């Protein structure tokens, strides 16, 4: 028996936008907005196709009359319109525009259509309109369900109702311009019915719903934050994530362009709802969704550049969003062997770069973002060490170009996370000290972001390497070799960051002098952000490294005292006290450990 999906796709069910094939073309994509309500898209609108078909029939009859007339009249050229009969200026005897080939009947149809379009333009989209639309929408759903149940074995009997339902879904796209109706749309139960259609047997109906939901939740929709949240929360309460996950597993990207577009729309919906970080748990907690995303990023697109197409890249982006600020999601991914997946995929870039400005480049960036987020957690950090992630990052630091900065960032995050001790020890054992300290000595030519990750790695080595261990002794030896050249470079970096920060501090003082205490308090967070942008965190990290060296080595203590100038170690003492004062009460175990470390270093610096 013929598939109902195939039958449905052979009927003219309205102008469904089809995405460009992401695996075969690279032209700029068109807008992902659905078509707004047009004539013929609603059961209450004029059936233009029928009217145009009627007009065409009239024209065909006229052509036959002209053929017969030509047999009796050999005069060349068009006949002038008779003087005694003039229906309208410019018409010939048969009711056509002179030389235009349009009959009087067809002109009446066109006038009627133009009039109908003017009426639609004046239609008022309010609660009354929504109620009428909702009633028609529910009728279309019910009629289609009834016919499907009645004629289960004969798709031709219900395919027409499917086309009507598809058109009605597309007509709802106008809601994206009227966010004030979102709440009423939810209260009337229409949203529940709409989301429920994701389970429709015809995947084209489900895809149309996905495209509509993507448009309704898009940042360009005319909604307030509150209106948007009302809609999204109702979608989630109606099992949106489960239904989207089910559709991802039944759509066939490899052999069907429409299904490939459907996957894109689903990922678009996920991206939209994840723009609110409060929804990350609802999406990440769905085990099927996380597993599908991990599976999809491993699935190559054979006809795309770098074997990375649009949807593969999009899946990696959704994963990066899910892991960005949600620890439970990071643990879930680690339990599904996600760290090994990232390392395996990223290993392709240890000696080569993806093509610039391609989907593959974005894909690689998202994978690095995922890995940098997830290695901060203990379980993922353990998987990172077991999977030789430290070794892979060191290879990239030595041999890669684009991946070098990203690998350094991953190491920085891993060495300050839940498995920092093991990662720090592994870096030393994998001969990483030569690479890290070599980059430090060349940091004059490096981007600021790279320098700051280097500083973070050095601070982590001194903090987390076990006291008296071979790894720690080797690290301290690197700091003091060649007449303390590494310490000299750190003091130079401190001077650069201090100068940059001093300019910002001076500007903030000028602003504060002109404000009341209340106004100054209101700007406190903004001022802190400006200090951080100027390098406050990196400056404190450098001073922390110097404090560690003062505590660890007498020769380094003397060298640092001289290099810091007149104030000497008082500079480090003030920095440590400022960091202690800036710590929040009621801290986590990690914060308490940091506080104990600062207090111990302060005692060493004060002596």
Residue-wise pLDDT for 481-507, tens only, equals 999 999 999 999 999 999 999 999 999
3-state secondary structure of 91: strand
State mean pLDDT over 192-215. 96
List beta partners, residue 91. 97
Q: How far from 460 is each of 30, 54, 146, 419, CA to CA, in Å?
A: 47, 79, 66, 11
Reading the block at residue 313, the tokens are: 């890249």
Answer positive or negative: Cα dihedral of 413, 414, 416, 417.
positive
In this prediction, residue 101 has a pLDDT band, given cuts at 50, 70 and 90, of: low
Q: Chain-centre distance of CA 175, in angstroms? A: 23
103 phi and psi angles, rounded to 5 deg? -80, 165
In this prediction, residue 303 has a pLDDT band, given cuts at 50, 70 and 90, of: confident
How many Cα atoms within 13 Å fall on the side-chain side of residue 476? 22
With CA atoms as reference, report the closest residue to 183 among 148, 227, 221. Answer: 227
pLDDT digits (tens, 9 = 90+) for 260-302: 999 999 999 999 999 999 999 999 999 899 999 999 999 999 8
Termini Cα distance of the chain? 89
Task: Note the pLDDT of residue 13.
Answer: 37
Answer positive or negative: Cα dihedral of 550, 556, 557, 560.
negative
Reading the block at residue 386, the tokens are: 């077991």
Query: Measured between alpha carbons, how far is 140 from 200 in angstroms, rounded to an integer?
Result: 13
Query: Measured between alpha carbons, how far is 103 from 107 in angstroms, rounded to an integer?
Result: 6
Q: Where are the alpha helices (DSSP H) in 356-446?
A: 359-374, 378-386, 389-399, 402-414, 420-429, 432-441
Token match 């909604």: residue? 223
Model confidence at 517: pLDDT above 90 = no
Highest mean pLDDT of the ranges 1-10, 42-51, 110-119, 407-416: 407-416
Task: Note the pLDDT of residue 111.
Answer: 63
pLDDT digits (tens, 9 = 90+) for 463-487: 999 999 999 999 999 999 999 999 9
Task: Note the pLDDT of residue 5.
Answer: 52
Task: Note the pLDDT of residue 105.
Answer: 62
List beta partners, residue 97. 91
3-state secondary structure of 156: helix
Q: What is the domain partition of the chain in residue ranges? A: 476-606
305 or 572: which leads in pLDDT: 572
Query: Measured between alpha carbons, how far is 511 from 13 in angstroms, rounded to an integer?
Result: 63
Query: Measured between alpha carbons, how far is 547 from 602 in angstroms, rounded to an integer?
Result: 8
Query: Measured between alpha carbons, how far is 180 from 588 in angstroms, rounded to an integer?
Result: 43
pLDDT digits (tens, 9 = 90+) for 317-332: 999 999 998 999 999 9
For the chain, give the percent of residues with pLDDT over 90: 66
3-state secondary structure of 398: helix
Query: Measured between alpha carbons, how far is 16 from 207 in angstroms, rounded to an integer?
Result: 10
- Please give the mean pLDDT across all residues of the chain: 83
pTM score: 0.77
The four Cα atoms 379, 381, 384, 389 give a dihedral, to 10 degrees, of 180
Ramachandran area for residue 425 (φ above 0: left; ψ -120 to 50: alpha; else beta): alpha
């Amino acid at each position: 028996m013929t598939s109902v999906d195939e039958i449905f796709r052979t009927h003219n069910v309205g102008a469904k936008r089809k995405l460009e094939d992401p695996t075969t073309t690279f032209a700029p994509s068109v807008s992902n907005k659905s078509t707004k309500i047009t004539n013929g898209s609603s059961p209450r609108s004029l059936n233009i196709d029928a009217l145009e078909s009627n007009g065409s029939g009239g024209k065909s009859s006229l052509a036959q009359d002209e053929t017969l007339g030509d047999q009796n009249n050999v005069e060349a050229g068009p006949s002038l319109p008779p003087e005694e009969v003039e229906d309208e200026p410019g018409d010939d005897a048969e009711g056509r525009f002179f030389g235009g080939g349009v009959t009087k009947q067809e002109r009446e149809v066109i006038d009627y259509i133009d009039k109908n379009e003017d009426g639609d333009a004046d239609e008022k989209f309010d609660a009354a309109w929504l109620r009428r639309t909702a009633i028609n929408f529910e009728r279309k759903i019910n009629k289609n369900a009834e016919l499907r149940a009645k004629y289960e074995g004969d798709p031709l009997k219900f395919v027409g109702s499917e086309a009507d339902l598809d058109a009605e879904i597309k007509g709802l796209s106008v809601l994206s311009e009227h966010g004030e109706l979102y709440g009423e749309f939810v209260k009337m139960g229409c949203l529940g019915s709409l989301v429920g259609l994701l389970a429709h047997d015809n995947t084209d109906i489900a895809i149309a719903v996905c495209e509509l939901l993507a448009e309704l939740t898009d940042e360009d929709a005319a909604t307030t934050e509150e209106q948007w949240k009302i809609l999204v929360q109702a979608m989630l309460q109606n099992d949106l994530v489960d239904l989207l996950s089910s559709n991802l597993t039944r759509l066939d990207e490899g052999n069907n362009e429409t299904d490939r577009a459907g996957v894109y729309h689903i990922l678009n919906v996920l991206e939209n709802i994840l723009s609110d970080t409060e929804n990350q748990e609802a999406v990440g907690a769905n085990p099927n969704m996380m597993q599908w995303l991990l599976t999809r990023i491993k699935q190559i697109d054979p006809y795309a550049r770098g074997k990375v197409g649009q949807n593969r890249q999009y899946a990696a982006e959704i994963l990066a969003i899910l892991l960005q600020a949600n620890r439970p999601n990071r643990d879930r991914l680690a339990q599904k062997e996600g760290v090994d997946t990232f390392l395996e995929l990223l290993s392709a870039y240890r000696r080569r770069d993806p093509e610039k400005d391609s989907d593959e480049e974005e894909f690689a960036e998202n994978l690095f973002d995922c890995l940098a987020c997830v290695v901060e957690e203990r379980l993922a950090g353990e998987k990172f060490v077991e999977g030789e992630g430290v070794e892979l990052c060191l290879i990239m630091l030595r041999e890669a170009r684009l991946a070098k900065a990203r690998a350094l960032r991953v190491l920085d995050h891993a060495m300050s996370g839940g498995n920092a001790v093991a990662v720090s020890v592994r870096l030393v054992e994998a001969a990483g000290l030569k690479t890290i300290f070599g980059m430090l000595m060349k940091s004059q030519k490096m981007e600021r972001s790279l320098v700051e990750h280097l500083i973070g790695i050095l601070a982590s080595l001194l903090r987390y390497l076990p006291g008296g261990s071979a790894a720690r002794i080797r690290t301290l030896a690197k700091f003091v070799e060649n007449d303390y050249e590494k310490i000299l470079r750190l003091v130079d970096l401190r001077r650069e960051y201090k100068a940059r920060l001093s300019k910002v501090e001076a500007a903030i003082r000028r602003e504060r002098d002109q404000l009341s205490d209340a106004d100054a308090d209101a700007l406190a967070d903004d001022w802190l952000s400006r200090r951080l942008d100027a390098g406050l965190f990196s400056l404190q990290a450098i001073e922390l490294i110097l404090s560690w060296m003062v505590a660890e080595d007498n020769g380094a203590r003397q060298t640092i005292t001289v290099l810091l100038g007149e104030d000497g170690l008082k500079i480090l003492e003030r920095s440590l006290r400022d960091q202690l004062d800036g710590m929040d009460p009621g801290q986590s175990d990690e914060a308490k450990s940091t506080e104990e470390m600062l207090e111990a270093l302060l005692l060493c610096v004060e002596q």
